Amino acid sequence: MAFSSCIPHPLTSVKICSHGLVLSHRCNIALDQRSTVSSHGFSTGLSGQCLQNVGAKLSSDWSFQGGHRITVRSKVKRFIILRKSSGIRALWFANSQIAGSVFTIGTVAVLPFYTLMVAAPKAKLTKKCMESNIPYIVLGLLYAYLLYLSWTPETVNLMFGSKYWLPELPGIAKMFTSEMTLASAWIHLLLVDLFTARQVYHDGLENGIETRHSVSLCLLFCPIGILSHVITKALTKRVGEVESTT
């Protein structure tokens, strides 16, 4: 048999048996969607589509001019792409589920402490709970876990992308496109806000200052809660001085 228009590939072998044409591939090859073999010649078209373990489907037709023709069609490429993409989607879904779960757990975990500081600031239960360091240990462990999952080789470059090793807004914005990074930042905020609220609460107990409004602001607006407590403390002190002079 004579072969024409044949482009050999070092990793592709062709066998002819009584049942038809068999293509065996030992690793990645580039195969065209349609290759034809006739009794007058053999041709294989190569394109830039990289496949693995390519299977082939044989079909035949007859023409008076070309003789008996065997058509080879690849049929496994789509399956391989779906198999790879399904693994990526499964990993993305797992990370997204972990981030969502930790986000919810962290949010629910801090609410009882704020409720006690606002509803019963002078109760023994509230004082005992706010003296404990357990919530900060739990939130710290959650934050470390999410930070480990969200850390990539590009994290440092995104955080300190400038030549002066200072954070830049575009890099930070790109870094926070990940749900895992957002969840870790949320746990970070919850921990810092709760710690600040506890400091405000203890300072109010020691100096006899109303802290309910400031503690409430610390939950979502920590800097405003600190400012509120400073103003409240200054006003309370001024009122106390005025009352003592009169």
Last residue of a domain, one of 46, 75, 104: 75
Answer for the pair 49, 65: CB distance below 8 angstroms, yes or no. Answer: no
146 compared with 244, residue with greater pLDDT: 146
Do 65 and 104 reside in the same domain of the chain? no
Dihedral pair phi/psi, residue 238, rounded to 5°: -65, -45
Do 89 and 65 reside in the same domain of the chain? no
43 compared with 98, residue with greater pLDDT: 98
Mean of pLDDT values over 121-138: 94
Answer for the pair 78, 162: CB distance below 8 angstroms, yes or no. Answer: no
Mean of pLDDT values over 36-49: 40
Task: Say yes or no to pLDDT of 44 above 60.
Answer: no
Do 176 and 120 reside in the same domain of the chain? yes
Asked, for residue 80, whether it belongs to a domain, the answer is no
Dihedral pair phi/psi, residue 210, rounded to 5°: -70, 125
pTM of the full structure: 0.61
Residue 34 identity:
R
Stretch among 85-89, 213-217, 227-231, 241-245 having the lowest mean pLDDT: 85-89
Q: Which domain holds residue 49?
A: 12-75
Task: Say yes or no to pLDDT of 122 above 60.
Answer: yes
Task: Say yes or no to pLDDT of 13 above 80.
Answer: no
Dihedral pair phi/psi, residue 209, rounded to 5°: -115, 140
Closest CA to 186 of 224, 222, 133, 134: 222
Closest CA to 116 of 209, 228, 219, 206: 219
Mean of pLDDT values over 129-146: 93
Q: Label residue 57 exposed, middle or buried (CB < 10 Å: 0-12, 13-18, 19+).
A: exposed
For 138-171, the pLDDT digits (tens) are: 999 999 999 888 888 788 787 777 777 788 888 8
Cα→Cα distances 62→39, 67, 111, 114, Å: 11, 6, 78, 83
Question: CA 60, CA 9: separation in Å to the nearest integer?
Answer: 25
Domain count, the chain: 2
pLDDT for 61 equals 53
Asked, for residue 1, whether it belongs to a domain, the answer is no
Task: Say yes or no to pLDDT of 192 above 70.
Answer: yes
pLDDT for 224 equals 97
Last residue of a domain, one of 47, 75, 103: 75
Question: CA 36, CA 72: separation in Å to the nearest integer?
Answer: 6
pLDDT for 80 equals 40
Do 118 and 203 reside in the same domain of the chain? yes
Do 29 and 130 reside in the same domain of the chain? no
Mean of pLDDT values over 186-195: 96
- When pLDDT is cut at 50, 70 and 90, the band that residue 207 belongs to is very high
Task: Say yes or no to pLDDT of 104 above 90.
Answer: yes
Average pLDDT value over all residues in the chain:
73
Question: CA 196, CA 131: separation in Å to the nearest integer?
Answer: 13
Task: Say yes or no to pLDDT of 67 above 50.
Answer: yes
Answer for the pair 23, 32: CB distance below 8 angstroms, yes or no. Answer: no
Do 134 and 219 reside in the same domain of the chain? yes
Do 218 and 163 reside in the same domain of the chain? yes
Stretch among 27-31, 86-90, 169-173, 232-236 having the lowest mean pLDDT: 27-31
Residue whose structure tokens are 């035949």: 60
Do 60 and 155 reside in the same domain of the chain? no
- When pLDDT is cut at 50, 70 and 90, the band that residue 71 belongs to is low
pLDDT for 76 equals 45
230 compared with 59, residue with greater pLDDT: 230
Mean of pLDDT values over 197-220: 95
Do 139 and 202 reside in the same domain of the chain? yes
How do 29-30 and 20-25 pair as beta strands?
unpaired
Asked, for residue 2, whether it belongs to a domain, the answer is no
